Amino acid sequence: MKKLSTTLALAFAFIFSAFCADPAYENAMKKQVTAMKTIQTLEESQAVTNAFLRMAEAKPEEWLPLYYAAYLQTTAVFRFEVDKDQYLDQAMTLVEKAEKISVDNSEITAMKGYVVMGKISLDPASRGQSLSPQAMQLFGKAISLDRENPRALMLMSQMEQGMAQFFGSGPEKACGLARNAIALYSKEEAKVSDDYLLPTWGKAQAEQVANACN
């Protein structure tokens, strides 16, 4: 009997903690999401990544810290001098962990495609053939999971732009996607408040694709 009540109490506590916001976690996340926006150096990037990894470790039921850690690992490849393949491999490991926590998540799926795109960019001539369909499939899946996800559209527009350049075809497809993405970013901005923890990045990249259209 005693055992049963303990189990019940534990189960209740678990459900309670899962449904109830954890202010310590939210505060810590908020601090790092803010810090993330002002990263200038590899050291800063590493410090924020590490903070997200600590939160991922302490809160194994949350996908967001893993997502941001993967995002920072991936952007570090484009911004800083690092062992690029190693960073992307680790980003992929983090994305795969996040996927297990939150199944069929549009943001995570788009992030996975972003990592694959990073892999392609390191050696497009030989990786493009096998990895491009994989990246496109992931972006397509991310879009179908959430039609309002601007990042999925933006990343697909970047991919389209790259392929149009490679095949010498027109930029219409990339431009259309980028314009739609920008519209979705504006919609997203309306929702964003100080407490907003979900991903908001990528508008500048969408604009970059759109700017090449005129």
**Binding residue for another protein (CB under 8 A) from 28, 70, 95, 184?**
28
- Nearer to another protein by Cβ, of 152 and 182: the residue is 152
Burial class (CB in 10 A: 0-12, 13-18, 19+), 118: buried
- Nearer to another protein by Cβ, of 1 and 23: the residue is 23
Q: How many other C-beta atoms lie within 10 A of the C-beta of residue 20?
A: 8
**Binding residue for another protein (CB under 8 A) from 58, 183, 192, 198?**
58
Rounded distance, CA 67 to CA 143, Å? 17
CB 114 within 8 A of CB 74: yes
Rounded distance, CA 58 to CA 42, Å? 24
> Which ranges of 59-105 would DSSP assign to H, the alpha helix?
64-79, 84-101
Rounded distance, CA 53 to CA 67, Å? 10
Rounded distance, CA 90 to CA 76, Å? 12
x/- track of binding to another protein for residues 73-102 (CB under 8 A): ----------x-xxx-xx------------
Give the list of residues 6+ apart from residue 169 with CB closer than 8 angstroms, or none: 163
Q: Which of residues 173-192 bind another protein (CB under 8 A)?
A: 173
Point out which span in 10-18, 139-147, 186-194, 202-210 binds another protein (CB under 8 A).
139-147
Q: Is 50 in the site for another protein (CB under 8 A)?
A: yes
Q: Is 43 in the site for another protein (CB under 8 A)?
A: yes
Q: Is 6 in the site for another protein (CB under 8 A)?
A: no
- Nearer to another protein by Cβ, of 14 and 192: the residue is 14
Tell me which residues touch another protein (CB under 8 A). Answer: 24-25, 28, 42-43, 46-47, 50-51, 53-55, 57-58, 83, 85-87, 89-90, 122-123, 125-127, 129-134, 136-137, 139-141, 143-144, 156, 160, 163, 167-169, 173
